[in-house]
Every structure is written in C-alpha cells, then in structure tokens.
Structure 1
Amino acid sequence: MARHASSSRARPSIYDVAVRAGVSHMTVSRVINGHTNIKESTREHVLRVIEELGYQPSSVARALASRQSRSVGVIVDAADHYGPKNTLLAIERAAREVGYTVAAFSLNGLGDGGIRDGIADLSSHGVDAMCMIAPRTSSLLAVTGAPLDVPTVVAGDVDDRPSMITVAVDQGHGASLVAEHLVGLGHRSILHLAGPLDWIDARARERSWRAEMQRRGLESRTLVGDWSSDFGYEVGARHPLDDVSAVFASNDQMALGLLHGLSTRGIRVPDDIAVVGYDDAPESRHLLPPLTTVRQDFDAVGKAALQAVLDAIEGRPVQARQRVLPELVVRASTVGSGSQAQRLAPARALEVEAPLESAI
C-alpha cells in the first residue's frame, strides 16, 4: 500500500503497473520487451494500465530485462577541436533519437594509458558498443592496439585499416572540390595551409590536394600549420605572397587568422588573393568577406556511425567503410564583386550562397 500511495507523488514504477494490473513485475517486464509467451489478453490489459498510469520504462529497467544497457561508449581524442567535438555531438544526437544514451571519455592527450583507462571506465558502465573518435595517428594506433570485447566503430577517415568498421567525411573529396573551384576560376599559383600532418584528416586533405595539383600540372605549395588562427595570421601578415593568387586553408580557424593578417598588409580578399577554408564553422559566414569553405555533414556521420554500431550489436551485416561526401559552400572570399578570380575567368558561372537577410 505504501508503494502504491507514493506513486501519486512520484513517477510510476514497474511495480505500480504490476499492482494495478494484478500481475507480477516480471510479466510487466515481458510485455514491455515484447516477449511472445504472454497471453494476448494479458498483454492488452498491461499495456492499457501502462497508458493509464503514464508509465515510461527507464533505461535501467530495459537493461535488466534485455541484458543490454542501451548505451554506447565514445572515446574521443582532442575533444576541444572542431571536428572531434562536432562528431561527438552528432553521435549523441543520433543516439537520443533511437533511445540510446552515450557515455563519453575524453583522452586529452593521455596516450596509450588513457585509452586503456577510457575503455575500462566505459566498460564499467556496461556499454553495448564503443565508438572511437581518433583524429590523430597516435590515438588511432592506441585504439587499434587496445583489447575490445564489444562491437567497435571508428569515426575517422582511416583508409589503411581494412579490418575496422569506419565512418567518416571523405576528406580527399573535399580537397578536390576546392581544387576544382579555384582552378576553375583561373587560379594557378595556390598556397595550401595544411593542418598538422599527424592528424588523419589533415593528411588526407593534403594528399588529395597534392594529387589534384599534379594532375593539373600545377605546383603543389604547402605550409604545415597547427589549426590555429594565430598560424593563419602569421602567414597573412608576414609570409611572402607576391606570386600567390589564392590560399586554401585546411580549416576555418586558420582562414580566419589569414584574413586578419592579410588585412594588416592591405591585401584585399578576394580582389588580390582568394581564400578558402574547411569546416563551415558557424562564424565563417560572418567573416569579412564571408568565407568560401567546405561543409562537413557531421549529423550524417553521427547517424551512420550509430547505425553501424546498432547493426553490429544485433549481428546484422555492416559495411566496413562508409564515407559521407562534403560540399563546397561558395561565398565572397573567392567570388566577391571585382575579385581577381572574376577577372581571371569572367565567363564561369558559380552558385554562390546568398547573403544573410536581416531578421530585424
């Protein structure tokens, strides 16, 4: 009686449903989890009581009944950087949509020991599967060398690990889009600001960029940066750029610093030098000029990674290598009014993102 009385003040439990329906709590659990050895009249009666009480099964109750936690562990390296952070958020959104929770462990440069600690920590939560966001070669090697006893998916552009289930944005395709855009505008002397080459995505972009330049008979000119706006600023303010007509930065942060640095020398964008970034960070459309950049669909990556995890849990076939294609967003940093690119190739038609309209 005390249990039933308290239910009016708190969220109803599986025991409240059992008392009201006149059955055991195990029968309620079997109904919730779709067991077939339940009389149809009993099933309908229990479901009617569940609706009357407004009972919602907790994840813990479902886990006890199904021996699954309905949770996914995510180990993420460099969680403060744009790509890993947004990949984690996308996986969390996708998990919520299907009633799963995410337990995350951030490495923060902890190395191999951190990977082992992370796996142990998440395993203690009884996760059904693991997802690894391993953007650097060092973290990827640590992940692949770690003992894993649950289905595991790697969110990253890993071409040289055919035995692993991987889901990622096709970084090489993104760099190819930039090459096609800039060369199509008439640019022939293009500088690439690469990200740190121990980052898998930066290396994939640089490799594809170099191949695209060679295929077109153009020189591949590269400076290796550190992802930061400060690096971009130093290039824009001090690096010799007299013979450069365009710059492709491997992320929007370096492009942001580059625009600032160029302005200190009176170099106009895009009139004197065109600039392209990568990521399509929210602020990129508000830079002066608004930045042409490559948009990564992190939501698609998150959904694909989670689906791969669920398929692996259920024993369904899983495509080992899944790639999400990025898209080029063209703005005024390459095709602004009076730009050098327009003078070089005035007849080429380009689809340009329209300026934002004021909401005031």
Structure 2
Amino acid sequence: MADVARVAGVSGQTVSRVANDRDNVDPETRARVLSAMRSLGYRPNSAARALRSGRFRSIGVILFSLSSYGNSRTLDAIASTAAAAGYSLTLIPVETASQQDVAGAFDRLGEHAVDGVIILIERHRLGEADIALPTGLPVVVVDSSASHPYPVVDTDQAQGARIAVEHLLELGHETVWHVSGPQDSFAAERRRRAWEDVLRERGLRIPDVAVGDWTPRSGYRIGRALARDPEVTGVFVANDQMALGVIRALHEAGRRIPEEVSVVGFDDMPESADFWPALTTVRQHFDLVGERSLQALVAEIEGDEARPRLLVPTELVVRDSTGTAPRGASRSGV
C-alpha cells in the first residue's frame, strides 16, 4: 500500500479507502490510485480485510443433488447473483439430508469462513425436529419444509399444481390422474395435496396416486398402467422428466395425445417444447428462486429484517399435449 501511495501521490489512508471501495474519494484520485495498483500488481488482501470488518464476502451453499434440473438452475442463479453482489461461493454437496451430513457440511463451511449459508436440500427430513442447525450464522433455506426460524424461498408449488389440474378440468376431463414425485419430497407433497384439493373442492373422484422417483423410467412404468385404463383422459405429472416417460408409454399403447389422453408436466425444461407432442407444463422460475434466496441471505448478513417465507409464482405454458376431453367424457364439476 505504501508503494501504491507513493506512485499515485496520495496518502496510505486514501489507498485504503479505494481498496475498500469507499465512496469518499473523488473520481480523479480513485482513477490514479487504481492505475497505480494495476501497474504495481497490487491486490487487496481479502483475509486482512475480513479480520478488520468481520465479513468474508463469501457464502456457503449446502446442496443435496447437483444432477437435478431445478437444483442446477437455482445454483446457477445463486452464483450469478452472488458475483454481482461481490460475494464468492463455497459449495458443499451432501449425500443425504441427515443430521450427520448437514452438521458435517456446516463444520466444513466453518473452515472456509463464510458470512452465511444457503441450504438447497429438498427433503422432508430437513424440517424434522432432530435436524439441528447451528445458531449465530445467517441461513436461508430453498425449497424446503424446514420448520426452523430461517427465511425460506420456494416456488409456489401448490399454485402451480392448481393451475395444471384446473387447465385439464376446464378442457372437460371428468377427473385428473396424478403421477407424483417421491414421498420424501416436499415439492412432490405440495403438488399432490393441491391436486387432491382441487378435485375435492369440485366434488370429483380422486383417483389413486401413482408415485414415481422424478425419472423418465418411473414415468414410463406408471404410464404403462395408466395406458391400460380407458377412463384415463387427463394426467398431471409432477415433473417433465416423468411426463416424458408417461408420453412414451401412451404412444406405445396406441393412446393418442391429446385426442385421447392429455398430459401436463411441471418444470418447463428446455426440452419440453421438443417432446412429441410438445408438452404443456408448469413453468418454475428457478432463476428468481436463486436470485431471491441470495438477496434474502445478504439482507440477513447486513442486519436487515428478513421475510419468513417468499413464494415465487409459477405459470402454465400451454402446448400440444393437452386438448379437449374425448367425446363422451363427463363435464361434471367443471
């Protein structure tokens, strides 16, 4: 810093102000100091600044699965928003959402000196009483049923499921079958409950739910059973990948889409528009979920009052996989 001050012709205090991005330096002086820094190869010592300020400008992310479409999109948005806000990320993947794995992830983040943590684990177990998260560190939970006193950012799962089911009913389908995600998934439970609620409110028959595991293979297995039932005319599938498997099974069974069976997915993956036929689906805004979770965490770090829960709305994207119920289907309850 003394060398920079000498080259720029300023005091060491002025160099410190510029290095810490303070606004009480006039533009001409700032430019001169920055030029001297570049010419001398000077970079501020972030560790030293952290010791003085108590801030590391670093955020930890505990992630259950990087392979899932939603998690990867959300993480991408968190990273972009963090970079724009001047924060770096430390990513800690965990095998399960058990107490041992989550506690171990927090211990590892402690070694990396982070200012706060975003938890991206979409599992019921995180919300159970035996999952104790460390106190004294700002935390935001993404897409979780956590009962802890932390801000939660989530897609409005129930609203998304409702608009999917209502779309099929408005097309004249007597009822709607549902292919659910796994039972330990909070998002799957919210979508399943909303599906049931809509049918119950309209006094319609509630078919048995079929449980998949988010993969096209499980959708195909369930789809083969649905294809054998002539009463099945409308299907709401809890994600687009399982919907792909359902559509394949219907094709193989000779059930025409949407003339005989309409299918709605959930996510709006980029590939959904290229399904055969193009998939009607519920669009999740993973970019907004990631952006707002990072913003909520930064607000906590800076001492601002945080909202306890923030839901990001979904929207229905109507394509070719849904159509009017086949002739003879009842319109009761619509």
Same fold (TM over 0.5): yes
Counterpart of 1:192 in structure 2 is 178
Match of 1:121 in 2: 108
Cα gap change, 1:80 to 1:141, in 2 (>3 Å): farther
1:50 corresponds to 2:34: yes
1:164 to 140, 145, 150: 150
CA contact (8 A) 1:75 1:104 kept: yes
AA in 2 matched with 1:295 = R
Correspondence 1:248-259 to 2 at 5 A: 248-259=236-247
Question: Alpha carbon RMSD of aligned pairs, Å?
Answer: 2.8
Shift of 1:84: 2.2
Q: Answer with 178-187 or 139-148: which moved more.
A: 139-148
Aligned residue in 1 for 2:98: 111
Cα contact 1:134–1:140 (8 A) shared by 2: no
On the 8 A contact 2:175/2:199 being kept in 1, the answer is no
CA drift at 1:93:
1.6
AA aligned to 1:30 is: R
Q: 1:226 to 1:154 in 2, by over 3 A?
A: same
What CA distance in whole angstroms lies between the structure 1 residues aligned with 2:329 and 2:35? Answer: 68
Pick from 117, 141, 161 the counterpart of residue 154 of structure 1: 141
C-alpha displacement of 1:68? 1.4
For 1:179 and 1:173, locate their aligned partners in 2 and report how far apart those are by CA, in whole Å: 10
CA contact (8 A) 2:127 2:148 kept: no
Verify: 1:217 aligned to 2:203, yes or no: yes
Residue deviations 1:43-71 (CA, integer Å, cap 9, x gap):
85354221465478568265455331111
Residue identity in the other structure for 2:204: L
- The answer to whether the aligner puts 1:306 opposite 2:294 as a matched pair is yes
Amino acid across the alignment from 2:213: D
Contact 1:78 1:109 in 2 (8 A): no
Q: How many pairs were matched up?
A: 326
Choose 167-176 or 118-127, whichever is displaced more. Answer: 118-127
Gap runs ≥5 in structure 1: 1-13, 346-360
Aligned sequence identity (%):
38
Greater displacement, 99-108 / 63-72: 63-72
Q: Is the 8 A contact 2:172 2:325 kept in 1?
A: no
What's the CA shift for 1:219? 1.7
Deviation for aligned residue 1:82? 2.1
Paired amino acid for 1:282 = P
State the secondary structure of the residue aligned to 2:322: helix
Q: Does 1:178 align with 2:201?
A: no
Deviation at 1:116? 1.4
Change (3 A) 1:326 1:284: same
Q: Answer yes or no: is 1:285 the counterpart of 2:273.
A: yes
Q: Which moved more, 1:172-181 or 1:218-227?
A: 218-227
Asked if the contact 1:21–1:46 (Cα under 8 Å) also holds between the matched residues in 2, the reply is no
SS in 2 for 1:278: strand
Per-residue deviation at 1:33? Answer: 2.5
Deviations 1:284-309 (A, max 9, x none): 11000000001100111111111111
Give 1:242's aligned residue: 230
Q: Among residues 319, 335, 339, which one is paired with 2:307 in the alignment?
A: 319
Question: Aligned pair in 2 of structure 1 residues 296, 211: CA closer, same or farther (>3 Å)?
Answer: same
**In the aligned structure 2, how far is the partner of 1:321 from the partner of 1:110?**
21
SS at match of 1:317: coil
Tell me, in whole angstroms, the C-alpha distance in 2 between the residues paired with 1:24 and 1:324.
Answer: 49
Cα offsets for 1:228-256 (capped at 9, x unmatched): 11111112224432111111100011100
Kindly report which structure 2 residues correspond to 1:8-47, keeping only aligned pairs within 5 A, or say none: 17-22=4-9, 27-33=14-20, 45-47=29-31
Post-superposition offset of 1:88 = 1.6
Q: Does the CA-based 8 Å contact 2:127-2:144 persist in structure 1?
A: no
**Structure 2: where are the runs of 5+ without partners?**
none
Are the equivalent residues in 2 in contact too, given 1:187–1:245 (CA < 8 A)?
yes
Q: Select which of 266, 280, 283 maps to 1:295.
A: 283
Asked whether the equivalents of residues 157 and 169 of structure 1 are also in contact (C-alpha less than 8 Å), the reply is: no
What secondary structure does 1:226 align onto?
coil
Query: Is residue 117 of structure 2 the alignment partner of residue 130 of structure 1?
Result: yes
- Return the alpha-carbon distance in structure 1 between the equivalents of residues 79 and 117 of structure 2: 13
- Given that 2:234 and 2:261 are in contact with CA atoms closer than 8 Å, whether structure 1 keeps it comes out as yes
